[in-house]
Amino acid sequence: MSSQMNNEASSNALLLLITRLHFYVGLFVGPFIFIAALTGTLYILSPQIEQAVYKDVLTTQSRGDYQPLANQIAAARSHLTSDLTLFAVRPAPEIGDNTRVMFLDPTARLTGARALFIDPVTLNLKGNLPVYGTSGVLPIRTTIDFFHRQLLLGEVGRYYSELAASWLWIAALGGIFLWYKGGKKNQSEVASKTAHLRKRRRHYQLGLWIFVGLIFVSATGLTWSKWAGSNIGSLRASIGWVTPSVDLSLSQHKTNQQSDEHLDHAHHGSSKMATSGVGSHNSDLLFDGVLKAARDAGIDANKIEIKPDRTGHKAWFVREIDRSWPTQVDSVAVDTRTMTVTSRANFDAFPLVAKLIRWGIDAHMGVLFGVPNQILLTLFGLSVCMMIIWGYKMWWIRRPNAGSTSKPLLQAWSKLTSGQKVMTFGVAIALGLSMPVMGVSLILFLLIDAWRWKNAA
């Protein structure tokens, strides 16, 4: 009997511990998760907005034979007011689309790059806009993207999104545990008698429906984060979960390098890139030959990007940039001296883990399956917002009694068995080291909790 009572006491202590932690995450991190979910939903809906707003820039009514890429690049250069470094060209993917000739430009807000949109038939300038990422998003989507990532606050703003992603999966797992231990009773009891129980029931049910999405978005979001993302990248490298990429060196011995799947959320250039330029505009004449060599080598996607070498000692980089289904992200390196392919990375040959990472990131961004992906993520993002709102309403309804009924987190932890204490402490240390933003916020939670415990004594 005594053993049974001890087990029940430790079980109740664990339940109380997870309940209080879930409450703290909802109360303090909930607003950040809400902002991330809302801005993420806006980003998912932004492709159609971009197409409508920039239709005249992106498309043309001209029909006829395309001018050589060299002529299109020359036309773009003629409209520059300063000598900018050309870093990539995206040939018009389909009839009616314009070619993007992209330059590094430190005056371009947020992105550091801009594209001149050239009619491939008439060589007329159709637009001059800042662009960002592999998707080549334009100013409206760029602003939404940066607000989602960093609240337009620069690098310091990235802590907000990392905080949200770090705690989201823990909140989801905690919610599942609480539903399993006590939430199921509410379905057969008098859940409709009070506003609090009605909202709690909705909160639980919605959480169950979107549980998998919460884990998925949290995991993929963490890969973009500053601290946890760096640790994830190091872990992947140590166990060989890297994405193959072409080798741009022109030496005899070539090895695959690691590519970055997050180029949609990474700057086009660095200070090093900005200061190293192609020696002469004569290199523009090489683009048509590089394009032909890449096409002959099997780069057959409509959407491709050609990046010239800015050092004069490496191969040019040509890659497919179609992230929809089926995924087309093959890439090759072209030696401009012989117009031959010296290295390649085919998506079909990627390891399964690399493919899953690619698909996971693209699904997170709403591009993998097009409109169905957008609809699903929109419903998910709005559901997260509603679940947080219901959670705050639950807290607000019970707010007057919170001081007399709630128990501090540390008090619940003190009632755990020795084994449970060691386990929870070890898990907290491990997670805090791998996800530093979560670790620091957990320390703040405990300081607030210790203050509450002291005042309640």
Q: Which segments of 259-398 does DSSP mark as H helices, in order?
A: 271-275, 287-296, 352-364, 371-397
Give me the pLDDT at residue 202, please.
Answer: 79
Give me the pLDDT at residue 112, please.
Answer: 93
Interatomic CA distance for residues 109 and 81, integer angstroms: 17
Give me the pLDDT at residue 294, please.
Answer: 98
Residue of 146, 123, 174, 182 lying closest to 19 (CA atoms):
174
CA 100 to each of CA 35, 103, 173, 214, 335: distance values in angstroms, whole numbers, following the listed order? 33, 10, 45, 36, 23
Main-chain phi, psi angles of 342, to 5 degrees: -105, -15
Output the six-digit token pair for 9.
């006491």
Q: Write out the H or E segment, with its range, that includes residue 86.
A: strand 85-90
Q: Could you tell me the pTM of the whole model? A: 0.87
3-class state of residue 70 by DSSP: helix
3-class state of residue 325 by DSSP: coil
Instruction: Locate the DSSP E strands across 91-249.
Output: 99-104, 113-118, 125-130, 244-245
Output the six-digit token pair for 171.
């909140």
Main-chain phi, psi angles of 398, to 5 degrees: -95, 5
Interatomic CA distance for residues 265 and 224, integer angstroms: 8
Output the six-digit token pair for 246.
């072409």
Q: What is the DSSP string of 391-434?
A: HHHHHHHTGGGHHHH---HHHHHHTS-HHHHHHHHHHHHHHHHH
Tell me if 348 sits within 8 A of 354, measured CB to CB: no
3-class state of residue 72 by DSSP: helix
pLDDT 10s digit of each residue in the chain, 457 long?
Answer: 555 555 666 678 888 899 989 999 999 999 999 999 999 999 999 999 999 999 999 999 999 999 999 999 999 999 999 999 999 999 999 999 999 999 999 999 889 999 999 999 999 999 999 999 888 899 999 999 999 999 999 999 999 999 999 999 999 999 999 888 775 554 444 444 566 667 677 788 888 999 999 999 999 999 999 999 999 999 898 888 889 999 999 875 444 455 666 666 554 443 333 333 444 577 899 999 999 999 999 999 999 999 999 888 899 999 999 999 999 999 999 999 999 999 999 999 999 999 999 999 999 999 999 999 999 999 999 999 999 998 898 888 776 554 444 667 888 888 888 999 999 999 999 999 999 999 999 999 999 888 877 776 5
Output the six-digit token pair for 382.
């709005």
Tell me if 416 sits within 8 A of 13, measured CB to CB: yes
Instruction: Locate the DSSP E strands across 248-290.
Output: 257-258
Residue 6's Cβ-count burial label (10 Å; 0-12, 13-18, 19+) is exposed
3-class state of residue 270 by DSSP: coil
CA 347 to each of CA 224, 329, 332: distance values in angstroms, whole numbers, following the listed order? 21, 6, 11
Interatomic CA distance for residues 368 and 221, integer angstroms: 16
Residue 269's Cβ-count burial label (10 Å; 0-12, 13-18, 19+) is buried
Tell me if 57 sits within 8 A of 151, measured CB to CB: no
Give the rounded distance of the alpha carbon of 141 from its chain centre. 14
Q: Match 């049974």 to its residue by tokens.
A: 4
Q: Which segments of 263-370 does DSSP mark as H helices, in order?
A: 271-275, 287-296, 352-364
Residue of 82, 84, 68, 51 lying closest to 118 (CA atoms):
68
Q: Which residues contact 191 (CB under 8 A, 6 or more apart)?
A: 197, 198, 200, 201
Give me the pLDDT at residue 256, please.
Answer: 46
